[in-house]
Structures are given as structure tokens and as C-alpha cells.
């Protein structure tokens, strides 16, 4: 039976480390990292994510500002809010919660955020730097995945990893970060043929397609490490993309849903906010 990698437990430990670092920064700089989050509209999932981000910031001793705007906000107004936050020396991290209403061009908004304050790591410059293996702000969910993998103590170098999912937020950056750790990486997706054969070769499987039961026990090599990024609601229950109960018998390590990758995303966001703060004051 595989060991469960608890994102909840790991997050608690790392968030305490972040809190201690923030305390030390306060002594040195007489200032704490300040994250500004812009939420346009009232999507219930977005509202709950934004609240969770604020709670985590405050608990870590950081400053949090949420800017709430009506669904009808014009694109130009949002760009002007971002411009003000970019110029505000008291704000170290800027995050615009996605998705945005249809009439706003998400790319334009992401491009407008100062890449040095881009705690999401979504700005084209941060993505380019990440691809080049240069220092950058890395997207939160893939960073959390790497932190979880490292927490197991397994050697990542030379391992075969397969990522199922090619999104800009998870799949693509996870591939880059795993390559940075010297894994051999394959990216599969919803149209991939022979997924089972490909998964059976893998030492590490990262499932990030958003479809329950995408990875079943017959697709997993004995002793593989399974990272489940999926969040799906099935019969009112929250489940990931992998068949957890069957696979946990075969895997060496597996992440649960909930309590796995989810909490790690906000933890990485806190780490990114500390990073942007240091970048601005040092």
C-alpha cells in the first residue's frame, strides 16, 4: 500500500515557515509582503478561492487587499486598476482571479501585470524565463507539485514522468518544472492515443485533465508516484482524476483529493508573494 502525500499537512508546515520568514522580513524592512487580488464578478468558486487566499495571507502575517468589481467592469478600467497596483510600491504581488467576464481579454490583462509582481507566474516573461530555466516566478500549482514530490525524498533525476493535461496553468508549466528536476517528460492530453501504454512506462504520473477516473489501476506501474490535480464533483462528492482507492494499493506515493494538491497551490502563492517582496526591496 502506497504512502499518502498530505498536501494539507505539508502546507501547514510550509505556511508556518513562511510566517516565520515574514516575521523576520518585518524586523529587517519594517514592512510585510502585500498581495492585492482583483476579483471581477461574483462566480462562487472564484469568490471562495479569493477568500481562501486572503485568509492564508493574513495567517502568514502578510497584508492582503481584495479589490471587488462588478461583472460589468470595462476592460480599460481593469487595466487602469492594474496600472495603479503596478506603480504602488506598497503592493508586492498582483493577482487577477480568472476566469474573467467574456468582454474582457484575459491575455491583455495578464500582459498588463508587472512581471515582477506577477505572483501567478502567468505573465509571458515569467513563462519565457521558466522555459529557459532562468529564475522566475513559477505558477503556483506546478510549484506545489514539485514541493510535494520533493517531500517524499525520492530521487527525481532521470525518472520518467507523464503529465496528462496541457493547460497553461498546470500541464505545460509542470512539464517545464519536472524537466528542471531532470525528469524525462511526456505530455499527454484528451486526444492522446494509447494513454495506458504510456502511463505504464511512467515512474511519475501527474493527472490534470479534470475528468474523474481518467487514470485507472491497470494504467499504473507498481511503485509509481501519483499526483492528482483533478477536482471533479461526482454524485456530490469531490474526487480527483485518478481512481484513488484502487491505485493507492499499487503506487509508492499518491496524493488525495481533497487535501492533496489543492492546499499546496495557495502555499506556493504565499511563497511567490514573499519572493516578489524580496525582489522589490533587495
Q: Closest approach of Cβ 37 to ligand GUN, in Å?
A: 8
Question: Would you count residue 147 as binding ligand GUN (CB under 6 A)?
Answer: no
Question: Would you count residue 120 as binding ligand GUN (CB under 6 A)?
Answer: yes
Count of residues of this chain found to bind ligand GUN when the rule CB under 6 A is applied: 7
Residue closer to ligand GUN by CB (options 98, 187) is: 98
Stretch of 95-103, 178-186, 206-214, 253-261 lying at the interface with ligand GUN (CB under 6 A)? 95-103
Q: How many CA atoms lie within 13 A of 67 on its CB side?
A: 17
Cβ–Cβ contacts within 10 Å for residue 111, how many? 15
Task: Identify whether 9 is a catalytic site residue.
Answer: no
Q: Closest approach of Cβ 99 to ligand GUN, in Å?
A: 7
How far is residue 166's CA from residue 171's CA, in Å, rounded to a whole number?
4
Question: Would you count residue 140 as binding ligand GUN (CB under 6 A)?
Answer: yes
Rounded to 10 degrees, what is the CA torsion of 105, 110, 114, 117?
140
Q: Closest approach of Cβ 134 to ligand GUN, in Å?
A: 21
* Sign of the Cα pseudo-torsion (184, 229, 196, 150, in order): positive
How far is residue 131's CA from residue 39's CA, in Å, rounded to a whole number?
29
Q: Closest approach of Cβ 46 to ligand GUN, in Å?
A: 7
Which residues from 161-180 bind ligand GUN, rule CB under 6 A?
Answer: 169
Rounded to 10 degrees, what is the CA torsion of 138, 141, 142, 147?
100
Residues 6+ apart with CB under 8 A from 29: 281
Q: Closest approach of Cβ 228 to ligand GUN, in Å?
A: 16
Task: Identify whether 120 is a catalytic site residue.
Answer: yes
Residue closer to ligand GUN by CB (options 66, 98) is: 98
How far is residue 41's CA from residue 27's CA, in Å, rounded to a whole number?
38
Task: Identify whether 53 is a catalytic site residue.
Answer: yes
Question: Would you count residue 95 as binding ligand GUN (CB under 6 A)?
Answer: yes
How far is residue 277's CA from residue 266's CA, in Å, rounded to a whole number?
17
Residue closer to ligand GUN by CB (options 169, 183) is: 169
For ligand GUN, the binding residues (CB under 6 A) are 95-98, 120, 140, 169
By annotation, the residues acting in catalysis are 53, 97, 120
Amino acid at each position: 500500500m502506497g504512502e499518502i502525500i498530505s498536501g494539507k499537512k505539508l502546507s501547514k508546515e510550509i505556511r508556518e515557515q513562511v510566517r516565520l520568514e515574514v516575521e523576520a522580513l518585518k524586523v529587517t524592512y519594517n514592512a510585510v509582503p502585500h498581495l492585492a487580488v482583483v476579483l471581477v464578478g461574483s462566480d462562487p468558486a472564484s469568490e471562495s478561492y479569493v477568500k481562501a487566499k486572503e485568509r492564508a495571507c493574513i495567517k502568514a502575517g502578510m497584508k492582503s487587499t481584495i479589490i471587488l468589481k462588478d461583472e460589468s467592469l470595462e476592460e480599460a478600467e481593469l487595466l487602469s486598476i492594474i496600472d495603479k497596483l503596478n506603480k504602488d510600491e506598497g503592493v508586492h504581488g498582483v493577482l487577477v482571479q480568472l476566469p474573467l467576464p467574456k468582454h474582457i481579454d484575459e491575455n491583455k490583462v495578464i500582459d498588463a501585470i508587472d512581471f515582477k509582481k506577477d505572483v501567478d507566474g502567468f505573465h509571458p516573461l515569467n513563462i519565457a524565463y521558466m522555459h529557459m530555466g532562468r529564475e522566475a516566478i513559477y505558477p503556483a500549482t506546478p510549484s506545489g507539485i514539485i514541493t510535494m514530490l520533493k517531500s517524499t525524498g525520492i530521487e527525481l533525476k532521470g525518472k520518467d514522468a507523464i503529465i496528462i493535461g496541457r493547460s497553461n496553468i498546470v500541464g505545460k508549466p509542470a512539464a517545464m518544472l519536472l524537466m528542471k528536476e531532470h525528469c524525462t517528460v511526456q505530455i499527454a492530453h484528451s486526444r492522446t492515443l494509447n494513454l495506458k501504454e504510456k502511463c505504464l512506462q511512467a515512474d511519475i504520473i501527474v493527472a490534470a485533465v479534470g475528468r474523474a477516473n481518467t487514470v485507472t489501476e491497470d494504467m499504473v506501474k507498481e511503485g509509481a508516484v501519483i499526483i492528482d490535480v483533478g477536482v471533479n464533483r461526482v454524485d456530490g462528492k469531490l474526487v480527483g482524476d485518478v481512481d484513488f482507492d484502487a491505485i493507492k494499493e499499487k503506487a509508492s506515493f499518491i496524493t488525495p483529493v481533497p487535501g492533496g494538491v489543492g492546499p499546496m497551490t495557495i502555499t506556493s502563492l504565499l511563497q511567490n508573494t514573499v519572493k516578489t517582496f524580496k525582489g522589490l526591496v533587495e
